Amino acid sequence: MASWVQICNKSLRRVGNYRIQSLDESNEAARSCKDVYEAVRDTVLARHPWNAALVRTTLAADATAPTWGYERAFTLPSDPYCLRVWRLDEYSHPAAEWKVVGRKIHTDESAPLKIEYISRITDPEQLPPFLADLISAEIASEIAFRLSESNTKAETLRTWAEQEMRHARSMDGQEGASERIIADDFIAERY
């Protein structure tokens, strides 16, 4: 059973053997973790299309179209919260042009719009172990200098976080079959 406190405690052990019981404690270790863990979590999740964070959904068009540029706007999901649009369904929207503007997708595609997006994971029990380890490594690298005042420690933990990122991406890539590549007009013209 992972919790944000357990993930932060792993970070704190790497920084200097600190340990907390709650993120609401009134010590520097707890304050440091509380200050960064949500932002670090969202950044780590948004950085890669993690299988655990991918959500597929269908969006209805907004009643109000964009002022110019595209014909339709679609509001991004908030439950679970959309951190980043990964792609539109290539079968329903094979040659779609689109752009995220604020919390909306602007496109000329008709509704319903099928998207796959990276969601915010607020329950740490929904994180695979490799992703929890990566978030822990990133938290450690964020708080290292604040707690240790050591550039060497901060650089060492940044290197650890980069290694954890490579490991996590490798593990994530091993879950599921390889994606099929769909030939488009450009590829078809080459043959």
Task: Provide the pLDDT for residue 128.
Answer: 96
Task: Provide the pLDDT for residue 157.
Answer: 96
Structure-block tokens of residue 57: 């959904």
Structure-block tokens of residue 185: 């007009």
| Separation CA 6–CA 132 (nearest Å) | 10
Handedness of CA 13, 17, 21, 23 (dihedral sign): negative
List Cβ<8 Å contacts ≥24 apart for 20-26. Answer: none
| Separation CA 186–CA 165 (nearest Å) | 33
Task: Provide the pLDDT for residue 187.
Answer: 58
- With 0-12 / 13-18 / 19 or more C-beta atoms within 10 angstroms meaning exposed / middle / buried, residue 113 is buried
Structure-block tokens of residue 134: 């990566």
| Separation CA 143–CA 145 (nearest Å) | 6
Task: Provide the pLDDT for residue 161.
Answer: 97
Tens place of pLDDT per residue across the chain (191 aa)? 579 999 999 999 999 988 999 999 999 999 999 999 999 999 999 999 999 999 999 999 999 999 999 999 999 999 999 999 999 999 999 999 999 999 999 999 999 999 999 999 999 999 999 999 999 999 999 999 999 999 999 999 999 999 999 999 999 999 877 766 666 655 556 65
Query: 124: helix, coil or strand?
Result: helix
Task: Provide the pLDDT for residue 179.
Answer: 67
Domain ranges (residues) in the chain: 4-48+128-173, 54-119
- How far is CA 153 from each of CA 10, 28, 138, 146, 177, rounded to the nearest angstrom? 15, 17, 13, 11, 39
Query: 88: helix, coil or strand?
Result: strand
Query: 100: helix, coil or strand?
Result: strand
φ, ψ dihedrals at 113, nearest 5°: -100, 120
Cβ–Cβ < 8 Å for 22, 5: yes
| Separation CA 117–CA 58 (nearest Å) | 11
